[in-house]
């Protein structure tokens, strides 16, 4: 069995927050791939199903973000899972909105859910980093992360979650490069805005 974990905070008031991008991805996978009904277990909500030929359990910890590791560790112990069986979907400030990256291990980059899981099972688990972008100012980070996706962001958010769900079987096959390729083909990342032709660089570094 594989364990796909989505990070977020439980409750309707948090449902559309950027910090709940992991919950959103897991919900879309469950709906699109015919997973069973959600049940209360392991201090969270779980749903079981298959991705390709692999049995997968989806988990949304109900412990709030900073104690997510309790729920993940309990599920791993019960099913005798190894680190290689675990993939965690979470929001990532350091990845542009509309992009997705995958990595195994590393730091928590200020994400309390990742920090908690690392404390309970060690940091060497696979992460699907769902970009929410950085507001550009440290003072605005908390409000950005704990704020809802804007109306203008909604169409791309929907496309991105569709793409993550579509590509999820690749993750079950332990094919992270294939997953990222499928996501990018289904939901091409937005191109950076071009400067008008008559704009001149302000400094030599802009050349």
pLDDT band at 194 (very low <50, low <70, confident <90, very high): low
pLDDT of residue 196: 53
Domain that holds residue 180: 2-206
pLDDT of residue 109: 87
- 71 has pLDDT over 90: yes
Q: Quick one: 11 exposed, middle or buried, by C-beta within 10 A (0-12, 13-18, 19+)?
A: exposed
pLDDT in tens, 157-180: 999 999 999 999 999 999 999 999
User: What's the Cα-to-Cα distance from 66 to each of 57, 69, 105, rounded to whole Å?
Assistant: 21, 8, 18
Could you give the CA distance from residue 175 to residue 90 in angstroms, rounded to a whole number? Answer: 19
Q: Which residues are catalytic?
A: 19
Q: Which residues of 121-150 are buried (b: 16+ CB within 10 A; e: fewer)?
A: bebebbbbbbbbbbeeeeeeeeebbeeebe
pLDDT band at 207 (very low <50, low <70, confident <90, very high): very low
* Average pLDDT, rounded, for the chain: 92
Q: What is the pTM of this model?
A: 0.91
Query: The CATH number of the domain where 131 resides is what?
Result: 3.40.50.1470
Domain total in the chain: 1
């Amino acid at each position: 069995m594989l364990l796909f974990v989505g990070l977020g905070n439980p409750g309707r008031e948090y449902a559309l927050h950027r910090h709940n991008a992991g919950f959103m991805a897991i919900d879309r996978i469950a709906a699109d791939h015919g997973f069973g009904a959600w049940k209360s277990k392991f201090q969270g909500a779980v749903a079981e199903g298959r991705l390709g030929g692999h049995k997968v359990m989806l988990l949304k910890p109900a412990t709030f973000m900073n104690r997510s590791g309790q729920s993940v560790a309990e599920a791993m112990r019960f099913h005798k899972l190894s680190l290689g069986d675990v993939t965690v979907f979470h929001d990532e400030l350091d990845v542009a909105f509309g992009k997705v990256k995958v990595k195994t291990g590393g730091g928590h980059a200020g994400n309390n859910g990742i920090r908690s899981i690392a404390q309970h099972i060690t940091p060497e688990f696979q992460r699907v980093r769902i970009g929410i972008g950085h507001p550009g100012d440290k003072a605005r980070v908390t409000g950005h992360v704990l704020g809802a996706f804007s109306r203008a962001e909604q169409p791309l958010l929907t496309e991105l979650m569709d793409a993550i769900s579509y590509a999820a079987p690749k993750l079950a096959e332990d094919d992270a490069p294939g997953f990222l390729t499928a996501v990018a083909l289904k939901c091409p990342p937005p191109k950076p805005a071009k400067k008008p032709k008559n704009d001149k660089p302000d400094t030599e570094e802009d050349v």
